Structure 1
Amino acid sequence: MLIPRELDDQRFEAIMHEAVGRLPWLCPQWTDHNAHDPGITLLELMAWYKEMQQYQMDQLTPSLRRGLLALAGVCPTPPQPAVCALEAADTQARPAFSRLTSRQEVCFELLEPIMARRTTLERVQIEQEGRATDAADLLSGSMELRPFLFSGQSGSALRLGFSGETGGTLRLWFDVTPPQGAARNPFDAGQDPPRDIAWTFEGAAQVRPLSDETYAFSRSGYVRLAAPVDWPADADGLRWLRLTLIRAGCEEQPRLCGVSDRRYQAAQQQTRARSHWFTMEAGAGQRVTLEDALARTAELAVFLRTAQGLTQLEQYEEENVAKGRTLLLDAQAAAMDGADNVLVVCLDPVRVHDLLFDTVGRPGEELYLNLDGQTVLPQRFRLLCQTLEPDGAVRPAVWHCVDDLYACGPRDRAFTYDPVRETVSFGNGRYGAMVVPGKGSVLVMDLTVSQCGMGNIPADAGLYFEDGGQPAGNTAACGGRDAESLAEAGQRLLRQLCHTGKCLSAGDYEEQARRTPGLRVAAAKALPDYDPQAPVGARGRAMVTVVVIPASEEKRPAPDTRFLAAVARRLGQRRTIGVRTQAIGPRYVDVDVTVQLRTNGTLDRRTVEDALEARLSAARADIGAPVRWSDMLALVQKLSGVLEVQRLELRGAGPDAYQTAAGDIRVPPDGVAVLRRAEVEIGRI
């Protein structure tokens, strides 16, 4: 273990005592060591300076702490705005970044446009054996059902009826109730879902979703499908989308508690400046269209990227169209290298005076942002500054926000932001470039602020659109968090050091199996040097076999091939070099129990059977654990009303069970004992 060295180990008195003590050897002619001597005064000044230097050397500055954490692979997490879902009550189309406000003046913005709906979800049905049952309460979110296991029978289908036009993209939100028991691990990008669902437009064709954030109803999210143009309607004018389960998987049956085609995402944020890049052909009369809500009312700054750099366009024409705001530009001088060559900066018209700054060009110049105490989202913060180019010309250039200017060179176009003082700091010409002096030389081109952790508001907070006052119901806003401090990042590093990404012990293999992405693993047992395919008594050298049990509602859950392949892939990525791994399912061993009791009359047979079944069930997941006669005896004796256990007998069924002389049932290392039959005889006094 590394022991930190203390550099600040001397105080002023100790430094002076050591210095004065060395004077007779260094300068024998100096005999007056009292405080009135000018030489002693100089020594006191140097001792004070040495004490200050030692103190500074013993401190870890924030920039040094950040650099050390980065070397360990840990960076403080940035702030994040809260996100909620909106239920639009009207059918009015709205562009992205439309603003909403709550009664407490908490600002939200749409993350996606609300399109004029071509189709509307009208009805929900469950179909079982040709008979359809309405489930209208699923539209209002006031019911919960398992659509593919309706009325206790499998093979049902979920049907969604739509009215309106055909074609376009269907965008549906499904609320999925999380199952009880083991939680599902987060999914990896591109991972296969745990089950397969067929999506069929009745009368048209079966399709695959364009995107499925629910992973086949494993969690709540959006599903997008391309609706066919030739989608026929029934006699009631409805077009039906049919969902059937074609592969159930080995885990839970999905539970739905809501479905909607009017749910849209909004974030607790306020965009004060936003830039748009376009690629245009050279020539006059080129058009660009800005479609978001901010662009329709914003003050614009338009720049053309030429072969030399950015130059601002003073003259352009604009008009408002149905899609948004269209600009007519003269792009004859634009660079034709295939990259974006037109930049349009949209500024909040109310905040323009806070987004344009004059500078004097001094080293380390600072600018104050008036943010009303809100937090800047650093990933959406950039400046457009007048910059001195190598050819001696001054042109606008994009500057980026960094954590520390000491990591920048003299020409790096970077700045830092202090969230406490709400100030932007530029370089001094050695660490980071200096900004050019001038009027209006700094323009904020991207700036989004948020209340972050304070933006987690409850459901139905009274949100309404600012451009009309229409109300919008909302779910609880969650996920908002403030920026992680360096101390919190250090604590996170210490927690990470307690876990290994590679498997060394049997416990590591079990932990990695339980954390397989996208799965619900109820239990895992690592068996070193065990191969179930090897002959009896033989050992699988350099092999680790992991027995996994999925979290399921079945009495004897067994992993399917997709489940085992995911666990095996996880173990293969984290195994030790030279060690083979494999994932297998458990072997269930049937156990019969015979019990003869004497009770006081308050205990019935069913209670005893339930206690035995709870002890001998897959839910306990005692992989490889024997069934001890003494444990079963103690279990029965603890039941309320039992006076005497006259007889208790355990019997293992099948070749995988072995009964000892003491009456215990031993199972294979990958076996799980489960109750097959219980014979209970109760005698009363």
Structure 2
Amino acid sequence: MDFDFLTQLPKSDLDDRTFKDLVDECLLRLPRYCPEWTNHNPSDPGVTIIELFAWLTDQMLLRFNQVPRRNYVAFLEILGIQLQPPAPAHTVLTFYLTRAQDALRSVPVIPIGIEVSTEHSENEPAIIFSTDQELRIGLPWIRHFLTEERAGGLPEQVQNRLTNQWTRDEFGRWTGRQQPVFQMMPQAGDCFYLVFDAIEPLDGNVIALTIEGEPAGSTGINPNRPPRQWEAWNGVEWQPVLLREEDDGTRGFSFDDVERRGPSGLREAEVLLHLPLNWVPTTFSGYYGRWLRCRCQQSENDRFSRSPQLTTLLAQSIGGRTQASECSRVMNELVGESDGTPGQSFFLQSQGILARQDEEYLQVTPTGELPQRWREVGNFANSSAIDRHYTLDSRTGRIQFGPLIREPKHLQEEVQLRRQVQWQGHSFNQAQVERVETLERHYGAVPPQNALLHIVSYRTGGGDRGNVPRHALRVLKTALPYVRQVTNLEPGRDGADAESLEEAVLRVPRMLRTRNRAVTSEDYETLTLQASRAVGRVYCPQKQPGGLPGVVTVYVVPRVNLPNLEQGIAPEQFSLSVPLRNEIELFLGDRCMLGTQSFLQEPDYVGVSVQVVLGVETDFQQGAARLELRRQLIQSLYQLLNPLTGGRQGTGWNMGVPLYQSDLVRLIQNTLGVQYLETLQLFELRRETGWQRQLVTGGVIDPGLTGVICSWAEVQRQSAHRIQFLGEELEP
């Protein structure tokens, strides 16, 4: 019996030599073993004998390739194991408008599925991203202007600066007498808040905040590094919304080099703010709305000598941001026509199908009837003969309908029953008919004959090629009114290629122990890895931090491209993106025990910087050899201190495992060209200290129970490794 309804996995041969390869290999050995044989033409009898034995060997290899690995793959097919499809990269697309949003001439909604791509080149095809959510541009009406001295995490003792002091015109511009935004002698923590109307759809909007104030000469700050921070409350924390210092036209309220004048005759400039994708309306101190704040950050070198004075505030939406995935959407594709038999299969025109959404399904239209919506399932184990079910292999695009399974005795019993009716003249016995019917079973309904099959829509894409750099997506493939420019201010992340057969072979034993339910910590780790190809490593401690009953914390390290190991990977690149977090939480939520909640968290990344002075062998003291040795040492250090590929086993640095000085000594001394190690210093960088580089005196860096060692090169944080050879000066 052929199990055509099972998943089809690619097979790998133990020996992939063909008949031609065998013949060519024998002919290449003739000059060595039989130099007097010079006629290698196909007409030569000796060559004929070689081809004969090559054919016999090819037949042996054909059988040899069937076992044992191919049998193992066949067992995986019987279990219904499928290779995980590629994971799409995610990013945030920013759309800038030709004009600000206007109440009289409203900019229409940017819908789901808008495609933006990279520039097409001769060698590389364009990479297409599609928006995952619709983008609405609202009117940012300022309702309250508040200040607070030495504010903590949340607004508590605020002072209203608008009541009876400023007035608003029909365009939303607030004007009035000069208002200080901080104390007269500003202190660290001083804040002023802008509370926006909660009704307007401002999630992800880009606003231009027009500010008018007195000239900056008396503020006493460096306009290139103003001690202030623009932030918005996203429902969980204050999120920075000033992406670049160049976006602050006021130069930190100094209005340095600003010639533009406002209604009061004072200097006026704009601050460009990219608001959170989820800007949650919140109530603080009795004021309800969407909260934006500017916080004073004093330092010894950069300080306000007195508070800036403002006379005008106006907010306008000039664009918006929305989530996008690397995919192309296919609409209403004709799959084929049913012949009415069980176990039919069809192939979509594309491969690498992304996870289906609610509006992505198979539609079956029988002749003369209304279209029917069929439901996708993982397998047909629980499907009855009336269930409109189908399976879809995301990797190959294969649509499969349920089979008809007959017991071995079914044909014999059916023939015997027909013989009794046709030859012996007996009538059908209901008990006998039911007995025969129990020997066959339909797993899922069968589309009627001549019924047309359509996929309403689906998305195809995925792979690590979607991890594009910043500002790579600039080509708008769908015409949109009032859109001047589009770009990605964040790099593409979470893209991963499809699972290979070797990776599936390693995954299956753990999957069989888990049995698709999350109970133990190992179950949570295994299922999290299955949730998405974008997951690199997973840690679920057996002793949970906090000890809350029913809450399981899972630490996730996303898969990150490793294009250049000479620079390492900064901890910001390991942050969990919103789409990946949602995908994992949804996957685990269906498999957790009743009353158990999974909580995803990032490990506490601890940076390591190494400073080494060493002596090298004579052959490596000059020229290109010395440069190559330095490059090799730096690359080895970044590779060892990598959460994904580092560690003592080369499989990633485990959570909670400390770094000892001896680990680095062994690595350096085993490098070809190193004669001896003079000195070695360790420096650590932690998030809670602002990634400040600090010398380690104990010879060990302990990341803590939930920490992971990492390493990267950054000039501002001085996190790069430094290699000095004896006789030369240390590089800065």
Which one has a bigger Cα radius of gyration? Answer: 1
Which structure dedicates a bigger proportion of its chain to strand? Answer: 1
Q: If the length of structure 2 is used for normalisation, what is the TM-score? A: 0.31
Q: If the length of structure 1 is used for normalisation, what is the TM-score? A: 0.33
